Amino acid sequence: MSDTRSSVFQCPACKGALLADAGCCLACGRSFVTQDGILDFVGGHFRTQLDAASYDASHTIDDNLAETDYQRFRQVAAHRWPATLGSIVEIGCGTGGFSRAMIGHRDATDAVLTDVSLDMLRICRGHLDRLGIASVLPVRFATYSANEACFRDAVFDTCIGSSVVHHIADVRLFLADVWRILKPGGRACFIEPSLRYHRVLAMAFADIIAMLLARDATFTPDRQALHNWIAEARRGVMLQGDLALLDGYEDKHMFVGETFETIALEAGFAAAEALPSSPDPSGLGGIGGLLARLQVGEAFAGQVMRLWPGYANRYLKLLNARDLSLGYLFWLTKSDQPRAVPSSTQAEAREPRRCDEAEVTGGGMPLRWVLSLMAQATSDGLRLKVEGWCVAIPDIKSVRVTIDGIVCEAPVWLPRADVHLALNADGRYATWNSLCCGVDSELRFAGTDRTRREFQVSIDLLFDDDRFVPIVTAGTLRPGASFELAH
Ligand SMILES: C[S@@+](CC[C@H](N)C(=O)[O-])C[C@H]1O[C@@H](n2cnc3c(N)ncnc32)[C@H](O)[C@@H]1O
Ligand SMILES: [Zn+2]
């Protein structure tokens, strides 16, 4: 009698065997729906904010780009790329921007293509059908969001992902799951964005915008589009490691090569390498594409490209060779021996350190802020609107508010060209800080007593390097009345 159990899937609820093709657990009886040939483990519990229907068009993905990206993977991996990828699982395959080429090359013996989104997988499947490659090797489709233990232990030779790990909230848990599902000697490879390189791009673009504003302070849509990109990139850099603040954002992480390597080793991998995925020492290779995606006019793009070297070189020269790339190819190898070091999936807790203003400014330019807080009592506690801006020479991450021992943070990131022009026309603060100093958040202090008329509030400015400066230590906040502060 042939074995009817799935060779790669298991029941995520009880880890029991699944009846092949039926998605039914032989141990606990749970069943998982198959829709359009896609086995659905996520069941809508997690989702992406990306729109599947417009994804190819908005990201200029077509079969040629899939082939280029696939060749880039191979070229960067160089001698590490094996003769065959064996049994492969792809994470976050999206519309198949990588999978189309990979399947077409018949590099694997069989493949499981996964994504958090059923819609993405449907489109990916459609592309394989259109290209006539859906059955060149056994290909299965399943939803997976890194939160489901839906794969059996040690069943894949290769796990691959292109621009997906930075969407996954808990990267440590994800890598531990990848380690578990790989066979001994198996490998995982991911292309992901670099934090250091994005910091340089944002800082250099900010200097360029500041210079253009100094010449003539008009707010054109082109300038605004680039300014918005700078603010989002700065926000991404500032919020790194803060899972609570990153929660609402689709793009959660940018990575530092050696930090990712450490996390991968802690997840059990025997070796982890961060390789530059698209070396671009001058930045000019990548910024043209970036400006095109922002849909700025040709004249503006040309102007920024001409100004670029003069502004970017001062930052680019601070990066070492492997960081001179928009992203990394992470290449992780699972030992064929049993794991020697016990895994740790705990992130190091970062303890903020209290400082006074003089300590963070070093006697230089003062901290500046204008903030307005408005509290409202609701059935489940206080809701607090925090608006305004704050600027310093060191990078401010957030405004931290504590009420009744409950702590919430409002990120500092929104574009505020007006504040920049009023405060930093002479460039004494870093321009990415003055251009992106806006705060506009609604914080929830659940469990506070709604009948009280007054609350004690303390407010700190929290810096990127985990220092904080208290700016209000015992203020009195009254629901319905605004609480203003300026310095
Ligand atoms: C930037 S796209 C990349 C798509 C594809 N790999 C490519 O290179 O064209 C990110 C993909 O990750 C998926 N995604 C987002 N969050 C995810 C998660 N937690 N687990 C798995 N996939 C996720 C999205 O649906 C999307 O398809
Ligand atoms: Zn089960």
Q: For residue range 205-252, what is the model confidence (pLDDT) as tens digits?
A: 999 999 999 999 988 999 999 999 999 999 999 999 888 889 889 999
Strand 327-333 and strand 182-193: the pairing is antiparallel
Same domain, 125 and 18: yes
Alpha carbons 373 and 299: distance in angstroms, whole number? 42
Q: What would the mean pLDDT of 440-444 be, rounded to a whole number?
A: 96
Same domain, 324 and 360: no
Same domain, 220 and 152: no
Contact between 388 and 370 (Cβ < 8 Å): yes
Cα(145) to ligand 1 centroid in Å equals 9
Same domain, 94 and 206: no
Could you tell me the residue range of the domain that residue 11 belongs to?
A: 5-162
Same domain, 139 and 258: no
Q: What would the mean pLDDT of 145-171 be, rounded to a whole number?
A: 96
Same domain, 230 and 113: no
Atom 26 of ligand 1, residue of closest alpha carbon? 94
- Which of helix, strand or coil describes residue 187? strand
Could you give the residue ranges of the DSSP H alpha helices within 317-467? 357-361, 417-423, 431-435
Alpha carbons 434 and 441: distance in angstroms, whole number? 18
Cα(123) to ligand 2 centroid in Å equals 29
DSSP 341-376: SPP--PPPPP--EE--HHHHHTTSSPPEEEEEEEEE
Alpha carbons 345 and 331: distance in angstroms, whole number? 19
In a domain, 348, yes or no: no
Contact between 19 and 11 (Cβ < 8 Å): no
Q: What would the mean pLDDT of 24-38 be, rounded to a whole number?
A: 93
Contact between 472 and 486 (Cβ < 8 Å): no
Ligand 1 neighbourhood includes 117 CB (under 6 angstroms): yes
- 415 phi-psi bin (left φ>0, alpha ψ -120 to 50, beta other): beta
Number of domains within the chain: 3
Query: What are the φ/ψ torsions at residue 67 (nearest 5 degrees)?
Result: -65, -45
Cα(115) to ligand 1 centroid in Å equals 6
pLDDT at 22 over 70: yes
Same domain, 212 and 251: yes
pLDDT band at 447 (very low <50, low <70, confident <90, very high): confident
Cα(176) to ligand 2 centroid in Å equals 21
Q: Angle of helix 195-215 relative to helix 298-316, nearest 10 degrees?
A: 120
Q: What would the mean pLDDT of 342-352 be, rounded to a whole number?
A: 64
Our mutation pick for probing the ligand 1 site, out of 72, 160, 164, 177, counting the most ligand atoms within 8 A of Cβ, is 164
Q: What is the per-residue pLDDT for 272? A: 98
Percentage of the chain exceeding pLDDT 90: 85
Q: What is the per-residue pLDDT for 192? A: 97
Q: What is the per-residue pLDDT for 3? A: 61
pLDDT band at 36 (very low <50, low <70, confident <90, very high): very high
Higher pLDDT, 347 or 121: 121
pLDDT at 255 over 60: yes
Alpha carbons 340 and 384: distance in angstroms, whole number? 49
pLDDT at 137 over 90: yes
Q: What is the per-residue pLDDT for 385? A: 97
Cα(91) to ligand 1 centroid in Å equals 7
234: CB partners within 8 A, 6+ apart: 202, 206, 413, 432, 436
454: CB partners within 8 A, 6+ apart: 476, 477, 478
Same domain, 364 and 482: yes
Of 328, 344, 371, the residue at which a domain comes to its end is 328
In a domain, 184, yes or no: no
Give the number of the ligand closest to the Cα of residue 30.
Answer: 2
Q: What would the mean pLDDT of 197-210 be, rounded to a whole number?
A: 96
Same domain, 233 and 148: no
Same domain, 126 and 77: yes
Ligand 1 neighbourhood includes 162 CB (under 6 angstroms): yes
Same domain, 125 and 246: no
pLDDT at 398 over 60: yes
In a domain, 340, yes or no: no
Q: What is the per-residue pLDDT for 340? A: 62
- Which of helix, strand or coil describes residue 72? helix
pLDDT band at 1 (very low <50, low <70, confident <90, very high): very low
Alpha carbons 308 and 280: distance in angstroms, whole number? 13
Q: What would the mean pLDDT of 149-156 be, rounded to a whole number?
A: 96
User: What value, to the nearest 5°, has the Cα angle with vertex 435 and ends 288 and 229?
Assistant: 35
Question: Residue 61 CA: which ligand 1 atom is closest?
Answer: 9
In a domain, 101, yes or no: yes
Question: How crowded is the C-beta side of 169, counted as CA atoms within 13 Å?
Answer: 14
Same domain, 291 and 357: no
pLDDT tens for each residue of 56-73: 998 889 999 999 999 999
In a domain, 155, yes or no: yes
User: Length of the chain in residues, anyone?
Assistant: 487
pLDDT at 115 over 70: yes
Q: What is the per-residue pLDDT for 323? A: 96
pLDDT tens for each residue of 41-59: 999 999 999 999 999 998 8
In a domain, 300, yes or no: yes
pLDDT tens for each residue of 264-314: 999 999 999 999 999 999 999 889 989 998 999 999 999 999 999 999 999
